[in-house]
């Protein structure tokens, strides 16, 4: 019989062990709620529970101290919406050593009893101009009464709801304070009363005006009539007493005034009127337009002329002083011996400026040039980018030059310039009979079609992330484009959108990438300079610190270890905003639950730093906020940081990391897979000091935190 009982006990123990995890506990069945009673700004609180309450602690969430009373009374002091909470510890009859804990919150609203208290009142001046009639609202409730307190603004007061008050001339601000009895609410309403004296000049409103022309001559005039006198002050130290007239100003800004006075018996009324006027001397927009020309005298009276400015907005019209003329930036003319006054009129179509410049030239000797009267030319007609040229003279020979190596020997020829621009077209015209030859040049302007730039929105950008001598680069915004990279160290040629390049030595390098969209024929080259540090062999590759954990209730003991020799420094973050230093450390948590415990190990000899994080659970019971599940959080260590940070993610899935500064500008973009501790190490040595925000996209979710450097 005893043997069977022993077997039954073992089976019962195994069954409890196997199925204990899914069987509801006593604490799961406990339900608690807050009950509340509001009186004015005071709140009477209590908690109801299906279990036996052992103790409780109230948090009023308005910055005041907590309370451990069972039914506390709390005065919030003013209307508003508040959320008091209570942490309840309930006795567990199944296991007295493991009480149940829960947190219950309730949102309450304390309303303003005077929110709808809007009494009315008014005070108006009667037809006699001195007696004011006032009236305030009246109570229509038998349970509420009103009182009225008037301050008429002239050191007198009253308590009547309706009445009259007489004022002397002046400006007053009467107010009435209306108070209700239940609830006690108060409101003050104010008004303005202006009582005027019997002013004989009330209707005296003369007028005057003064205007000024472009030469600084001002014309003034004021109201005329019997009994009126005038005193003008022109603001430049001069004056006049006439009704109207003129006044000459120098350049400047002035404030002329006129005082008009009316006199009749004992009545004397005056009024002063002022106006600000400005006289500016118009500056010549062409004062800096000083073009000129140069010339060179050749053989047999041939002179070469050239304008001083090649701007496409300039046109030149020449007068050679011998009755002939010409056009163009560059020109030639053959003179007979003598002295001539050569003039050129230069016009800028952009500014509208025009100037004629003249110089005297002297041609000496005897002009025996047989070709002096040989002055052929050519005409042209523009159609888009194509220009038709026609030489004038069917018996001549032609040799055209359109710039570069392009030429033709036809008299009539068409040429496609392909794209907009200003081109210089020259032709050598020769008369086979006389052997006379002349080169004629003209500027051809091909205007662009008014079409929208297909590359207007072609703005690819480059992001990068450095890791020692390795840099990872990525082009964004260049969809469908081809890439050509130049890494600044003599290597180039990669055509990938995302590339990784490893430099052979530390230093600063200028990286360029040319992005070309063949479909739109858009091309953009982006260059920037980066700095890389370190060696091809990571000196910290063998630095693999770790730590052991011992948990006893709420107390945790840790001990750091490392895989290389040397004096390693350890710092600890317990996951509850507290930390310690040393190879061994212990910490007692205040509240049971899950925590992310992180160790940062630093080797002063190799300058290696590494952070290792582990998730632990302490305490037999945890106080969990009602309605929320346990939630791990994204963490960054060390924080503040100097050269390296470790981002502790929420899983070991691949992560996309974006680091932005306080202005929202992305400074680092990094794709990586966390290590076995859900940690990703990132270099931040190139970042300036400041606050930065990290977004980590992982498993389709985005988590955010920040760190300080």
| Final residue belonging to a domain, choices 164, 195, 226 | 195
Find all residues with CB under 8 Å of 659, minimum gap 6, and list them.
Answer: 666, 667, 668, 669, 670, 682, 684, 687, 692, 693, 694
Work out the average pLDDT over 196-208: 80
Whether the per-residue pLDDT at 627 is higher than 80: the answer is no
| Final residue belonging to a domain, choices 88, 110, 132 | 110
Does one domain contain both 484 and 520?
yes
Does one domain contain both 470 and 507?
yes
Does one domain contain both 190 and 212?
no
Enclosing domain of residue 321: 293-363
pLDDT number for residue 3: 40
Q: How many domains does the chain have?
A: 7
Within a domain: 566: no
Within a domain: 20: no
pLDDT number for residue 56: 92
By three-state DSSP, how is residue 497 classified?
Answer: coil
Work out the average pLDDT over 466-472: 86
Q: How far is CA 58 from CA 80, 86, 89, 136, in A?
A: 19, 4, 12, 47
**pTM confidence score:** 0.26
Within a domain: 627: no
Does one domain contain both 103 and 35?
yes
| Final residue belonging to a domain, choices 165, 195, 225 | 195
Does one domain contain both 34 and 60?
yes
Among the listed ranges 22-31, 114-123, 372-381, which one has the minimum average pLDDT value? Answer: 22-31
Does one domain contain both 212 and 153?
no
Within a domain: 224: yes
Confidence band for 9, pLDDT divided at 50, 70 and 90: very low
Does one domain contain both 438 and 481?
no
pLDDT number for residue 130: 86
Decide if 647 contacts 682 (C-beta within 8 A): yes
Within a domain: 347: yes
Within a domain: 495: yes
Among the listed ranges 6-10, 189-193, 209-213, 323-327, which one has the minimum average pLDDT value? Answer: 6-10
Q: Is the peptide bond before 480 cis (omega within 30 degrees of 0)?
A: no
Measured distance CA(482)–CA(668) in Å, rounded: 24
Does one domain contain both 151 and 191?
yes
Does one domain contain both 64 and 98?
yes
Among the listed ranges 103-117, 143-157, 484-498, which one has the minimum average pLDDT value? Answer: 484-498
Q: What is the CATH number of the domain that holds 694?
A: 2.60.40.1930
Both structure tokens of 313: 């907005």
Q: What is the CATH number of the domain that holds 514?
A: 2.60.40.10
Does one domain contain both 394 and 327?
no
Does one domain contain both 189 and 220?
no
Within a domain: 680: yes
- Condensed to tens digits (0 to 9), the pLDDT of residues 349-372 reads 888 888 899 999 998 875 556 687
Does one domain contain both 242 and 171?
no
Within a domain: 595: no
Decide if 648 contacts 636 (C-beta within 8 A): yes
Work out the average pLDDT over 427-451: 84
């Amino acid at each position: 019989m005893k043997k069977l009982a022993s077997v039954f006990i073992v089976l019962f123990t195994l069954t409890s062990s196997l199925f204990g995890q899914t069987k509801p506990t006593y604490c799961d069945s406990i339900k608690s709620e807050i009950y509340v009673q509001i009186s004015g700004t005071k709140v009477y609180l209590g908690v109801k529970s299906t279990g036996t309450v052992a103790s409780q602690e109230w948090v009023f969430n308005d910055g005041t101290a907590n309370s451990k009373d069972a039914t506390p009374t709390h005065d919030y002091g003013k209307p508003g919406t508040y959320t008091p909470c209570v942490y309840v510890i309930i006795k567990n009859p199944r296991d007295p050593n493991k009480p149940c804990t829960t947190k219950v919150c309730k949102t309450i609203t304390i309303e303003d009893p005077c929110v709808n208290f809007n009494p009315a009142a008014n005070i108006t001046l009667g037809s006699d101009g001195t007696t004011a009639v006032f009236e305030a609202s009246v109570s229509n409730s038998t349970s509420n009464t009103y009182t009225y307190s008037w301050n008429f603004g002239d050191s007198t007061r009253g308590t009547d709801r309706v009445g009259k008050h007489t004022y002397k001339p002046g400006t007053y601000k009467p107010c009435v304070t209306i108070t209700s009895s239940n609830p006690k609410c108060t409101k003050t309403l104010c008004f303005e009363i202006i009582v005027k004296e019997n002013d004989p000049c009330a209707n005296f409103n003369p007028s005057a005006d003064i205007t000024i022309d472009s030469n600084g001559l001002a014309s003034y005039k004021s109201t005329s009539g019997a009994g009126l006198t005038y005193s003008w002050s022109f603001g430049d130290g001069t004056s006049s007493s006439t009704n109207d007239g003129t006044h000459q100003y120098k350049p400047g800004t002035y404030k002329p005034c006129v005082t008009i006075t009316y006199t009749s018996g004992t009545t004397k009324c005056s009024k002063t009127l002022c106006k600000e006027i400005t006289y500016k001397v118009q500056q010549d927009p062409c004062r800096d337009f000083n073009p000129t020309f140069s010339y060179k005298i050749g053989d047999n009276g041939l002179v070469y002329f050239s304008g001083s400015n090649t701007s496409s907005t300039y046109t030149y019209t020449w007068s050679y002083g011998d009755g002939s003329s010409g056009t163009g930036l560059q020109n030639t003319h053959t003179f007979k011996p003598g002295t001539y006054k050569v003039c050129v009129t230069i016009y800028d179509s952009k500014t509208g400026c025009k100037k004629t410049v003249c110089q005297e030239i002297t041609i000496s000797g005897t002009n025996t040039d047989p070709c002096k009267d040989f002055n052929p030319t050519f005409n042209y007609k523009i159609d888009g980018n194509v220009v038709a040229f026609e030489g004038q003279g069917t018996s001549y020979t032609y040799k055209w030059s359109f710039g570069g190596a392009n030429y033709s020997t036809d008299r009539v020829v068409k040429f496609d310039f392909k794209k907009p621009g200003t081109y210089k077209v020259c032709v050598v015209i020769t008369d086979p009979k006389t052997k006379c030859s002349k080169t004629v040049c003209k500027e051809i302007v091909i205007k662009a079609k008014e079409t929208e730039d297909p590359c207007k929105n072609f703005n690819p950008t480059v992001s990068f992330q450095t890791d020692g001598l390795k840099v990872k680069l990525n082009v964004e915004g260049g969809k469908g484009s081809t890439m050509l990279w130049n890494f600044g160290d003599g290597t180039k040629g990669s055509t990938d959108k995302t590339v990784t390049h490893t430099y052979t030595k530390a230093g600063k390098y200028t990286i360029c990438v040319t992005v070309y969209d063949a479909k739109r024929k858009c091309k953009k080259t982006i260059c920037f300079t980066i700095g890389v540090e370190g060696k091809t062999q990571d000196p910290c590759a063998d630095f693999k610190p770790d730590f052991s954990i011992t948990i006893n209730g709420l107390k945790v003991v840790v001990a750091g270890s490392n895989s290389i020799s040397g004096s390693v420094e350890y710092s600890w973050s317990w996951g509850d905003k507290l930390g310690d230093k040393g190879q061994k450390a212990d910490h007692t948590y205040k509240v049971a639950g899950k925590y992310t415990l992180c160790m940062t190990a630093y080797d002063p000899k190799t300058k290696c730093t590494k952070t290792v994080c582990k998730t632990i659970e302490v305490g037999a019971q945890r106080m969990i906020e009602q309605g929320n599940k346990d939630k791990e959080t994204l963490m960054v260590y060390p924080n503040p940081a100097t050269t390296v940070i470790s981002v502790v993610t929420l899983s070991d899935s691949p992560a996309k990391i974006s680091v932005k500064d306080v202005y929202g500008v992305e400074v680092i973009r990094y794709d990586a897979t966390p290590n076995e501790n859900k940690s990703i190490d990132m270099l931040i040595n190139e970042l300036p000091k400041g606050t930065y925000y990290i977004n980590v996209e992982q498993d389709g979710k985005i988590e955010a935190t920040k760190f300080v450097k």
